[in-house]
Amino acid sequence: MAKIGVFPAAGGLGFSIVNHLLRLVPPSQLILIARDPGSLALAEQKGAVVRYADYDDAAPLAHAFDGVDILMLISYASFEMEHRVNAHRIAIDAACQSGVQHIFYSSLAFAGEFGETSVAHVMGAHLATEKYLAQLPEPTTYTIVREGLYSESFPIYTAWFDLKAPTDEITIPHDGSGPGVSWAKRDELGEATAKLIVSYANVESGNVPAEFPYINKTVLLTGPRAFSLQETVDILGKVVGRPVRIRPISVDEYVKLPHEGKLTHHGVDLSREWATAWDAIRLGETAVVTPTLWEILGREPEDYETTLQGLYELGV
């Protein structure tokens, strides 16, 4: 059977993909690579191979993917451009040197419907990585998975709105009008991504007759409908049981707000760059809805309000 690698195999999306892969394939088929291998102890006990590697530590990456046939490469967690792109390229080159046959890459659902440009700074590194994958020499192939904006990531688009300590007012450089965001539950994205990986693995192993339809292509996974930011905030208010409003501000005002280091990476304040996300939302880049998530899951994706209600009840 083809060996499936996941890197980094920790973090929100990584854990989700790994958990669903463990339900779909024998653990011995998995090679899980993370900065903290101890976080994968349970998977290792079940029979998965666990290794250390870190995007910021190039030496271990040189052999981290040895023996991997199919790699799920989860993007570097940062808003930076140059450092992030370089980290991706180092990992991709290492995978190719190790003989990885196919790379799945977790991109992001900005840029509209399979667009090649975006006004969102956060999408820049993804687009550059997508282009890098597209020029890989044979026999390495790829699938780009543009993961929908996580339902759980609403705080970063709503001035750090906290379900546990809600405020009455959200100050962002956007008036809340549509188009909006087709939010998607992170664990459902993880499940769908895992199923895509296994589908490819089964084809390569000759276990199914149909061809894998996403070789050297992009898959866009979105929620079932788009919500304007005003609708998003209205749902947040409903969940916490109090009215919440948007107060539009300028980008200059937004940059001056206290972000408690949440938009600072490697010592660089990227709050102005992050504000371009609202420009992209305003242009409809994140409002595209596709049926692909539903088709892969085999069921209707979870409603946005249901996801937020669940987070609230869990005290997240």
The answer to whether residues 98 and 168 belong to one domain is no
Cα separation, 159 vs 245, whole angstroms? 12
Q: What is the CATH number of the domain that holds 246?
A: 3.90.25.10
State the greatest distance between any 2 C-alpha atoms of the chain, in Å, as a whole number. Answer: 57
Q: Which of 44-48, 83-87, 263-267, 282-286 has the lowest mean pLDDT?
A: 263-267
The answer to whether residues 27 and 84 belong to one domain is yes
Residue 251: give the domain boundaries.
Answer: 157-178+225-286+303-314
Amino acid, res. 70: I
Provide the CB-side half-sphere exposure for 45 (13 A, CA): 5
Q: What is the mean pLDDT of residues 70-86?
A: 93
pLDDT for 206: 64
Domain assignment present for 298: no
DSSP annotation string for 254-312: HHHS--TTTTEETTEE-HHHHTHHHHHHHTTTT----SHHHHHHTSPPPPHHHHHHHHH
- Over residues 238-268, the pLDDT tens digits come to 999 999 999 999 999 999 998 888 888 878 8
The answer to whether residues 103 and 170 belong to one domain is no
pTM of the model: 0.96
Domain assignment present for 253: yes
The answer to whether residues 140 and 168 belong to one domain is no
Q: What is the CATH number of the domain that holds 204?
A: 3.40.50.720
The answer to whether residues 94 and 214 belong to one domain is yes
Domain total of the chain: 2
Q: Please check the confidence at residue 203 and state whether its pLDDT lies above 90.
A: no
pLDDT for 113: 93
Q: Please check the confidence at residue 316 and state whether its pLDDT lies above 80.
A: no
| Cβ(100)–Cβ(69) below 8 Å | yes
The answer to whether residues 65 and 118 belong to one domain is yes
pLDDT for 259: 86
The answer to whether residues 255 and 238 belong to one domain is yes
Going from the C-alpha of 103 to that of each of 7, 48, 163, 285, the distances in angstroms are: 11, 19, 37, 25
The answer to whether residues 120 and 215 belong to one domain is yes
Of 123, 115, 58, 116, nearest to 92 (Cα)? 58
Q: Please check the confidence at residue 208 and state whether its pLDDT lies above 80.
A: no
- Over residues 51-69, the pLDDT tens digits come to 999 999 989 999 999 999 9
Domain assignment present for 293: no
